[in-house]
Structure 1
Amino acid sequence: MTVEGAQVIADDWKYPAPYDFYDATADMEDYKEFVSPAQWPDRFWQVRHGEDLVGFFTADPGDDDRCEISLGLRPDLTGDGRGLSFLQAALALLETEGLTQLPIMLSVAAFNQRAIKVYEAAGFTIVRTYTQPTNGSTYDFIEMELRKH
C-alpha cells in the first residue's frame, strides 16, 4: 500500500447503503488507522488492474498464532460476482507469503450476507458472533475461519 492509495480509498470510496457502513469516513478512529502507515498491519496491499486501484487486502499474522485478514473492493466493483475471485487471489497471495500454515481469520458485519456467502464459498466457516462498538454505535459481527483442506 502507498499513502496515496490509502488516502484515495479512505476519502473517495463511498459504498451505497447499507454498505456505507464500510466507508472509512464512517468511523474516524478507523479512518486514522487506515491512512496512517505506522498503524498498518504487517502486510497491506493495494490491488490494481493496470493503473486502476480496484481493491485492498491486509494480512496480520498476530502474536496469537493466527492470521487476521481484511479486504475491500472499490464500490463500483461490488455486488456483481467479483468477490469470490478477488478473495481467492488474496488467499493465493497468502500462500506465497507462507501464511497459510496459520489459521486464517476474518470478521464481517453480521448484516453483510452478501460477503458472508462469498466467504463461505471460499471455505470459511463461522466461529463465533460478537458485538463491537464502531461507527458511533454497537454492531453484531461474525468471526470466520478458513477450513484447512
Structure 2
Amino acid sequence: MCIRLREDLNIKKMSEVEATEILGWTYRAPYDFYNNTYSPEAVKEMIEGSYYTVFAADKGIIGFFCTGSAAQVPNDSYSYSDDYMDIGIGMKPEYTGQGNGRSFLAAVFSELQISYENQPKRLTVAKFNRRAQSLYEKFGFRMKHEFSKGSTEFIVMIQSN
C-alpha cells in the first residue's frame, strides 16, 4: 500500500482526537517497542508539546512528528546539546515497511525547512531499528553516538551537510 504524500499532504498541530488515535496504534514485533499506552497525561503531552499530525488527503492520519525535547530520549549517559533540531517521527503501522518512509520523511523535512532551515537536524532511533536507520542515512544522517536506556540501545544520528 504505497502512498504518495507530497502532493496531498496536510500537517497541523496535533489535537486531542488525533493524539488519542495515535496512542492506540499497535505495531508488529519487533516494532511493538514503539507502541504507546493511552493516558490523559500522554494526550496532554502531545497536544501541549511540539507534536504535529500528518494527513494524506484521502487516507486520514498517516503519521506524526515532534520536535525539540519531545523527540529526545531521556537517559543518564548522553547529553543533548542545543546545537541541533531534534526530530521524532512515527508512521501509522499499516503504512510502514512498504516503501512509504522516504516520501513521508521528505514531507516532514520540507515542513521543518520553513522554520528551521539553517539548524542541523538530529534523530534518536532504537539500535535494532535498521529499517529507520537506513531511511535516515538516505537523507544524509550518520551515527554520532550510542547510549542505553534500560535494556534498549539507541543511536543518535546527525544530518551531515
Matched, 1:89 2:107: yes
Structure 2 residues without counterparts, runs of 5 or longer: 1-13, 70-79
Aligned to 2:95: 77
CA distance, structure 2, for counterparts of residue 116 and residue 89 of structure 1: 18
Give the whole-Å Cα distance in 2 for the aligned partners of 1:38 and 1:107: 18
* Maintained 8 Å contact 1:110/1:141: yes
Q: Secondary structure at the match of 2:124?
A: strand
Compare relative contact order (CA 8 Å, sep 6+) and give the higher one, 1 or 2: 2
Shift of 1:3: 1.1
CA positional deviation for 1:32: 6.2
Structure 1 position 38, deviation (Å):
7.3
Give the CA deviation at 1:84.
Answer: 1.2
Q: How far apart are residue 36 of structure 1 and its match?
A: 1.4
Cα-Cα RMSD: 2.2
How far 1:69 moved relative to its partner? 0.3
Correspondence 1:44 to 2:44: no
Structure 2 counterpart of 1:23: 35
| Counterparts of 1:6 and 1:23, CA distance in 2 | 13
TM-score, length-normalised on structure 2?
A: 0.77
Q: Secondary structure at the residue paired with 1:91?
A: helix
Give 1:100 deviation, angstroms. Answer: 2.9
Letter in 1 for 2:54: V
Distance 1:100 1:94 in 2: 7
Distance change >3 Å, CA 38–CA 54, structure 1 → 2: closer
Q: Return the match for 2:154 from 124, 135, 141.
A: 141
- Provide structure 1 residue ranges, at least 5 long, that are not aligned to the other structure: none
TM-fit CA distance, 1:34 = 3.9
Identity %, equivalent residues: 34
> By how many angstroms is 1:123 displaced?
0.9
In structure 1, what is the Cα distance between the partners aligned to 2:40 and 2:157? 26
Cα distance in 1, alignment partners of residues 47 and 68 from structure 2? 12
**Does the 8 A contact of 2:123 with 2:158 survive in 1?**
yes
In structure 1, how many angstroms separate the alpha carbons of the residues matched to 2:48 and 2:110?
A: 21
Counterparts of 1:63 and 1:38, CA distance in 2 = 22
- Report the count of equivalent residues: 137
Aligned residue in 1 for 2:15: 2
Task: Tell me what 2:130 maps to.
Answer: 113
Contact 1:3 1:37 in 2 (8 A): no
